[in-house]
Structure 1
Amino acid sequence: MDKALYLAMSGGVQTMNAQTIHANNLANVSTTGFRADFEQARSMQVYGESMPSRVYAMTENPATRYTTGDMIQTDRNLDIAVAGEGFITVYDELGQEAYTRAGDLQINAAGQLVTGTGLPVAGVEGPIFLPPVDRITITPDGSISIVPQGGAANEVAVLNQIKLVNPDPQDIRKKEDGLIHAKDGQPFEADLNVKVASGFLEGSNVNAVEEMTHIMNLARRFEMNVKMMDSIRENANSSARILQRS
């Protein structure tokens, strides 16, 4: 009896974990450059001092969907979208290189080029700092050219180049911070073939209809697990009553 109860209970817990993955995808349907996560369930044996006779369900996040999202035109000079495959390199909270498709760039109070969430953008020559400017242009190869504040229109200076990479999807993974990281922790080399489009942002690649369908299916699965636990409890109570009468 306890085997069936454990199976139903673990199934319900893992169904809730799967719901969390799809709910997070749906919540980020409008997040710039967001990449949807997949989920899958498989059975796992319970190992311990006795024989592994019990199994439980386990939800996994096996991969991330790396297909491109829709291109949204903004006509803002600091908005860029990666055209095709590739990533923009940033520094995470630990100062390590990480990768993103979110190109809603800004210049903070210190004159540093950062993402919309405040992460420093990495250049091929390190962090990117800009002086006061009248105009800034980001070319398809990620080069940043400016007209200094008070300068003539023809006084164009190239300051740095955004580091663009294109790693193999097998070598990267998405972590809880929402950024893409190298599996071995080593930074990737810049790829000159990766291009960006200035004045555009890339939307999320989440399919809202697909995510809603998954959420509804998982809700029915959770209800089935709860009903199974109720049936097991009723059977246990019936068995106890039979034993009491005998």
Structure 2
Amino acid sequence: MDRLVYTAMTGARHILEQQASTANNLANATTTGFRAQLDSFRAVPVVSEGLPTRTFVVDSTVGADLRAGPIQTTGRNLDVALRGEGWIAVQSADGSEAYTRNGSLRVNQNGLLETTSGQTLQGDGGPIAIPPESNVTIGGDGTVSVISTDTKPGPSNVLGRIKLVNPDGKSLVRGDDGLFRLKSGVAAENDPAVRLVDGALEGSNVNPVDAMVNMISLARSFETQMSLLKNAENNAAKASQILALN
């Protein structure tokens, strides 16, 4: 009886946690460069002095869906999308290097190139500073060039190259800030094969229909776990009645 209670109780709890992950995916269905979170259930035995007859049901995050999202043309100079595999290197809030697919860029008040989320872009030699009164263009290889608008038009000046990397997807882990990092904690090497599409953004790879179907399926699974707990309660009550008669 108690084995049923253990399984149903933990199953219901972790179904709610998986629903939260699915809801987060659904909420980011229109977020630029978002990668869907993948979850799965696994059984973990309860270690105690008795026989190992009880198990917990645990929800574990197995990773992220790294498939590319749809590319949408915007025509904006500071919008870039990754063509195929690859990542854009940025500086996270704690100063470490992290990776994103969000190519919506801007120039902050200090003249540094950053994402619209506020992460400073990493160049081959550090952050890329944009001089005032300049038109910025970004090449397919990540080269950042500017043409001054304060004087007569002249040749473009190359300021640097956005750091583009392409580590193995199995070596990446998503942080609480939504950015990806290498599990080893080291910085990834530049990959000259990674290419950008200028004037475009990559959308989220979340399928809203699949996410909604998954939400409904998880809700029904939760109801099933609640029914199992109710059956366990009824069985325990009937067993107590029989013992009382004896």
Q: Confirm or deny a common fold (TM above 0.5).
A: yes
Equivalent residue, structure 2, for 1:204: 204
Q: Give the CA deviation at 1:81.
A: 0.3
For residues 40 and 66 of structure 1, the distance between their equivalents in structure 2, rounded to whole angstroms, comes to: 16
1:78 aligns with 2:88: no
Task: Give 2:198's aligned amino acid.
Answer: S
CA deviation vs aligned residue, 1:98-127 (integer Å, no higher than 9, x gap): 100000101111111111110111011101
Residue identity over aligned pairs, in percent, reads: 39
CA deviation vs aligned residue, 1:66-110 (integer Å, no higher than 9, x gap): 111111111000010011110000011111111000001011111
Task: Give 1:186's aligned amino acid.
Answer: V
1:143 aligns with 2:143: yes
Equivalent residue, structure 1, for 2:184: 184
For residues 48 and 2 of structure 1, the distance between their equivalents in structure 2, rounded to whole angstroms, comes to: 14
- In structure 1, the gaps of 5 or more residues are none
CA deviation vs aligned residue, 1:147-186 (integer Å, no higher than 9, x gap): 1241322242111110000111122122222111101011
Equivalent residue, structure 1, for 2:241: 241
For residues 182 and 208 of structure 2, the distance between their equivalents in structure 1, rounded to whole angstroms, comes to: 28
1:89 aligns with 2:89: yes
Task: Give 2:127's aligned amino acid.
Answer: P
Matches within 5 A, 1:18-29: 18-29=18-29
Q: Give the CA deviation at 1:128.
A: 1.5
On the 8 A contact 2:148/2:154 being kept in 1, the answer is no
Task: Give 2:143's aligned amino acid.
Answer: S
Q: Give the CA deviation at 1:24.
A: 1.0
Select the structure that is richer in strand.
Answer: 2
Task: Give 2:13's aligned amino acid.
Answer: V
CA deviation vs aligned residue, 1:198-228 (integer Å, no higher than 9, x gap): 1100000011111111111111000000011
Equivalent residue, structure 2, for 1:120: 120
On the 8 A contact 1:133/1:146 being kept in 2, the answer is no
When the two chains are superposed, the root-mean-square deviation of aligned CA atoms in Å is 1.3
**Length, aligned pairs only:** 246
Calculate the TM-score normalised by the size of structure 1. Answer: 0.96
Task: Give 2:124's aligned amino acid.
Answer: V
Equivalent residue, structure 2, for 1:166: 166
Equivalent residue, structure 2, for 1:15: 15
Q: Give the CA deviation at 1:52.
A: 2.4
Task: Give 1:134's aligned amino acid.
Answer: S
Calculate the TM-score normalised by the size of structure 2. Answer: 0.96
For residues 175 and 234 of structure 2, the distance between their equivalents in structure 1, rounded to whole angstroms, comes to: 43
For residues 151 and 181 of structure 1, the distance between their equivalents in structure 2, rounded to whole angstroms, comes to: 42
3-state DSSP of counterpart to 1:121:
strand
